[in-house]
């Protein structure tokens, strides 16, 4: 499928418009990342971009919206240690993100925010952080088949004095068939991989965290029976293909290799760093290799790992910030008796059809400054950062 890639830097970044000073007492010395697809969080105002069921004509009300906010606030607010950096998928707009954080997750105190949604999209991705967002941008892939692919949101964070690049993703779903929609996920992967490559070329030790709902599993290539190239791709297989080791993949043409429309993954930091040198491309660590949990999403009773955290090997080398753990959480009443996510649409006390993922990292050097939210400004929203390249 032919496609055209356009990178657009357009994002709104805002601080909590509250005067005075807030003192934050950390739950632990660790930095806790949360990634959570919160399943279509819409307000009750008809803006024109909503899915039909979330309009007044569709029966969606203010009471429905408030009930959802309350349940999400109770569930996420119960997490211990509390998350420091929250990455959400399926949020209608930045005002919804602000309401969730400012009225229902007040105790988390994450005043630094960023949000991105496509011009024609109904839902977007949002980030709320206790740590300062230094810069933010979006990356958008446009294709002939679908001009409404969701943007990838990138923020640069100052985390305990260390620069961290965080990417929030929500890739195209498999509605329409896995094989038929995979080229759209590859378009998003190509854009993400290109940006990560830029950062890696500038400094191979750059701390990178990639989070979100990828609608693709890290082992998607094998799930597909090696029948077509996938957006998430095992770096070891790529090394075999590049080395022309006799592995036969009919689609592994020179043109495909040059497109680099995949994010390369390895099971641990050592292998990721080694394969990056072999391939001369960055390789990220698949955090699903570091848990016994079967998945975060259940499709007709089958566990899937479509929600993920991927990190640079620099976060697993014992210097600077280092990964402590990766977990899948079952929030209060958010799971059934088998631990599967309980959707708010299927159960009166349900939360989402996805389970939240938690990545915990800690500074190896505990003498690093803590930059979590202290002084808050009271001058409203920061101007939107707008640019084009």
Q: What is the CATH number of the domain that holds 285?
A: 3.60.10.10
Is 87 a domain residue?
A: yes
pLDDT-derived band of residue 348, with 50, 70 and 90 as boundaries? confident
pLDDT tens, position by position, 283-296? 999 999 999 999 99
The mean per-residue pLDDT over the stretch 77-83 comes to: 95
The count of structural domains within the chain is 1
Q: Residues 113, 141: contact at Cβ < 8 Å?
A: no
Report the pLDDT value the prediction gives residue 11, as an integer from 0 to 100. Answer: 53
Q: Residues 156, 163: contact at Cβ < 8 Å?
A: yes
Is 119 a domain residue?
A: yes
Report the pLDDT value the prediction gives residue 370, as an integer from 0 to 100. Answer: 54
Distance, first Cα to last Cα, the chain: 24
The candidate with the shortest Cα–Cα distance to 262, out of 315, 150, 183, is: 183
The β-bridge relationship of strands 207-213 and 263-266 is unpaired
The candidate with the shortest Cα–Cα distance to 166, out of 264, 77, 35, is: 35
Is 81 a domain residue?
A: yes
pLDDT tens, position by position, 372-388? 543 222 222 222 332 22
Structural domain of 206? 3-21+29-362
Q: Residues 325, 315: contact at Cβ < 8 Å?
A: no
For the chain, the helix, strand and coil percentages under 3-state DSSP, each to the nearest 5: 25, 30, 45
Neighbours of 29 (CB within 10 A): 12
Is 102 a domain residue?
A: yes
pLDDT-derived band of residue 350, with 50, 70 and 90 as boundaries? very high
pLDDT tens, position by position, 195-215? 999 999 999 999 999 999 999
Report the pLDDT value the prediction gives residue 119, as an integer from 0 to 100. Answer: 83
pTM over 0.85: yes
pLDDT tens, position by position, 87-141? 999 999 999 999 999 999 999 999 999 999 998 899 999 999 999 999 999 999 8
Q: What tokens were used for 248?
A: 């036969």
pLDDT-derived band of residue 149, with 50, 70 and 90 as boundaries? confident
Is 373 a domain residue?
A: no
Query: Is the pLDDT confidence value at 220 over 70?
Result: yes
Is 368 a domain residue?
A: no
Is 380 a domain residue?
A: no
């Amino acid at each position: 499928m032919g496609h055209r890639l356009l990178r657009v830097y357009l994002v709104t970044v805002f601080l909590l418009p509250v005067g005075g000073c807030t003192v934050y007492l950390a739950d632990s010395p660790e930095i806790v990342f949360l990634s959570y697809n919160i399943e279509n969080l819409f307000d009750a105002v008809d803006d024109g971009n909503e899915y039909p069921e979330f309009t007044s004509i569709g029966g969606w009300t203010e009471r429905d919206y408030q009930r959802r906010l309350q349940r999400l606030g109770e569930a996420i607010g119960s997490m211990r240690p509390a998350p420091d950096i929250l990455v959400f998928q399926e949020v209608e707009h930045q005002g919804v993100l602000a309401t969730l954080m400012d009225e229902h997750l007040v105790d988390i105190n994450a005043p630094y925010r960023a949000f991105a949604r496509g011009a024609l999209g109904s839902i977007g991705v949002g980030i709320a952080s206790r740590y300062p967002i230094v810069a933010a941008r979006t990356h958008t892939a446009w294709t002939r088949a679908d001009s409404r692919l969701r943007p990838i949101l990138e923020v640069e964070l100052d985390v305990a004095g260390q620069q961290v690049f965080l990417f929030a993703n929500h890739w195209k779903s498999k509605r329409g068939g896995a094989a038929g929609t995979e080229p759209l996920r590859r378009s998003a992967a190509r854009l993400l991989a290109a940006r990560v490559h830029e950062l890696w070329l500038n400094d191979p030790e750059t701390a990178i965290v990639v989070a979100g709902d990828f609608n693709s599993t890290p082992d998607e290539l094998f799930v597909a029976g090696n029948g077509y190239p996938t957006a998430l791709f095992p770096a070891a297989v790529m090394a075999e293909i590049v080395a022309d080791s006799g592995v036969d993949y009919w689609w592994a043409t020179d043109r495909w290799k040059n497109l680099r429309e995949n994010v390369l993954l390895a099971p641990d930091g050592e292998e990721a760093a080694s394969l990056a040198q072999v391939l001369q491309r960055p390789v990220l660590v698949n955090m699903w290799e570091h848990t016994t949990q079967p998945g975060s999403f259940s499709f007709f009773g089958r566990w899937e790992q479509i929600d993920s955290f991927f990190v640079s090997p620099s976060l697993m080398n014992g210097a600077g910030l280092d990964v402590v753990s990766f977990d899948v959480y079952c929030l209060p009443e958010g799971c059934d008796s088998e631990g599967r996510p309980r959707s708010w649409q299927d159960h009166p006390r349900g939360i989402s059809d996805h389970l939240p993922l938690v990545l915990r990292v800690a500074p190896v050097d505990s003498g690093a400054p803590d930059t979590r939210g202290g002084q808050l400004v009271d001058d409203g929203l920061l101007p939107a950062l707008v640019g084009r390249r």
